[in-house]
Amino acid sequence: MFIFYDIETTGTNIVFDQILQFGAILADDDLTEIERFEIRCRLLPWIVPAPGALLITGTPVSQLENPLLPDFFTMMGIINRRLADWGPATFVGYNSMRFDEPFLQRAFWQALLPPYLTVTGGNARLDLLPIIRAAAYFRPGLLDIPLREDGTSSFRLDGIAPANGFNAHRAHDAMGDVEATLFLARCIARNLPELWKPLVARALKKSSAAILASGTPIFLVQHGGTPQVGFYRRIDMSGSQGSHAVLARLDYDWRDAKTRIDNFTANETAGLRRALRRVALNKAPLVFTLAEAEALAGSAPAATELAQAQFLAGDDDYCLRLTELIAPPAHEKSAHSTEVEETIFEGFASSPDERLMADFHRAEVLDRVMIARTFFDKRFRRLAMRIVHVTAPHLLSDGEQAQMRDGIARRLDAAREDLHPWRSIADALAELEAHPGRVATDEDDAIRIWLEQRRPPVQ
């Protein structure tokens, strides 16, 4: 089963922007649609949308606070239940690993729901964008790829879908983009099964880990403007337990590097690092067996590459040293990070807090505020109080209501010259004025008036 999905948001800041629209289609293994689902919500009171996002998606400001729409937290609960009912499945988006996935994870987390739904409970995920890039690389002409003004290929969904016959595309609408993504997936599955089938088969992290743990060379296609391809061997010892695999490119002379590495110049060290790749196992890397590489690319490793693989297989200490060369730096918490949205990776919820989250969502509205005050982790207390403020603000004490009003005013009224990671009203107004040569439209004027009206009252 597949779940094709897309989101529309208030902007591109995955930490401080908000999902406004969600669309999804459930499809069977043959990519035949079974069911579809879409939903919109109201704007959160502390979020300022990017004017550019509103103009691109055609979202009128009158819709942002439409009382007929559910609030954000109610919407996320509905989405969570629907996706759980549809699963387990493989989630497919377009450029989703970099945008939709982190947005969705943070949205669930802020709603006190399990954030990693797409990679737990038997679910897996694929990103169609790198698959489309790979298809264009291995089978030129299979898809009609639009060109930018400078002559380079453009893989934007709103261009590539209609260029290949999907003329009903409602670009920048969540369900419209889902339909376009499903259309392109069918094109690949039907016309290039030697690319589609192996990637679907190993969308799960454990499946990617298994092919890399085999000890044999593999063929890797890297996501980028023009895919970089080559034969590699895994050299780290984490197996299926690690979140990443470290791969060594086999057209690099690792035997020679070992004898000279302590005296490498800066350029030589940089070249060695470029021959190593750290691959996220839970992001469906484009990895293929040698047999699959032959079918897809007509390629096989040279004798010298096989010799490099054998050399690396026999020297665990050297492989460990190479692995440590590209280990990520230790994460340091920012001493200035006081915004709750920035704390998602500061630890998982404890078992008691997980039980409180479940109780919170089962509870009647009147009981939620009492549960909100009892979370052990202050992050979840803050998130729960936000939910109560949006869904039933009258249940908060006078002091709690004042604290929420002050926090919202701080977000909305932040001056341009003040350093802040979110978007304030002043920032949004400046964006509207950022292109002096552009003729203002009625939509621009409506956004400007609405932003001015949202300014907090002077105390």
Structure tokens at 135: 């298809």
Domain 204-325, architecture per CATH: 2-Layer Sandwich (3.30)
Q: What is the mean pLDDT of each run of 10 residues along the chain (459 residues)?
A: 97 96 97 97 96 91 94 97 96 96 97 95 95 93 92 92 87 91 97 95 89 86 79 84 88 93 91 92 92 92 95 92 83 64 93 96 92 95 96 93 94 89 94 73 88 81
Vertex 329, ends 116 and 256: CA angle to 5°?
A: 115
138 contacts: CB under 8 Å, gap ≥ 6? 192, 195, 296, 297
201 contacts: CB under 8 Å, gap ≥ 6? 207
pLDDT of residue 458: 64
The alpha carbon of 335 is separated from its chain's Cα centroid by a whole number of angstroms, namely 26
Q: Which of 328, 435, 425, 346 is nearest to 383 (CA)?
A: 346
Residues of the chain with CATH 3.30.420.10: 2-194
13 contacts: CB under 8 Å, gap ≥ 6? 421, 422, 423
Distances 172 to 7, 129, 180, 274 between C-alpha atoms, Å: 9, 16, 11, 36
Round to whole Å and give the CA distance between 367 and 362.
10
Burial letters 432-444, b for 16+ CB under 10 A, else e: beeeeeeeeeeeb
Q: What is the CA radius of gyration of the chain?
A: 25
pLDDT of residue 169: 72
Q: What residues are paired with 26 via a beta bridge?
A: 3, 35
Per-residue pLDDT of 271-307, as tens digits, reads 999 999 999 988 999 999 999 999 998 989 999 999 9
CA dihedral 168→160→282→380, nearest 10 degrees, is -60
pLDDT of residue 331: 54
**pTM for this predicted structure:** 0.92
Residue 236 CB-density burial (10 A; 0-12 exposed, 13-18 middle, 19+ buried) = buried
Residues of the chain with CATH 3.30.1520: 204-325
Q: Please state the CATH superfamily assignment of the domain spanning residues 2-194 in this structure.
A: Ribonuclease H-like superfamily/Ribonuclease H (3.30.420.10)
Distances 27 to 71, 135, 310 between C-alpha atoms, Å: 28, 22, 43
Kindly state the DSSP code that residue 42 receives in the 8-state scheme.
P
Instruction: Let me know: does 191 contact 183? Beta carbons within 8 Å.
Output: no
pLDDT of residue 444: 86
Distances 450 to 51, 329, 444 between C-alpha atoms, Å: 11, 44, 10
Round to whole Å and give the CA distance between 203 and 382.
35
pLDDT of residue 336: 53
Q: Which of 125, 140, 97, 290 is nearest to 226 (CA)?
A: 140
451 contacts: CB under 8 Å, gap ≥ 6? 48, 425, 428, 429
Say how many C-beta atoms besides its own lie within 10 A of residue 306's C-beta. 17
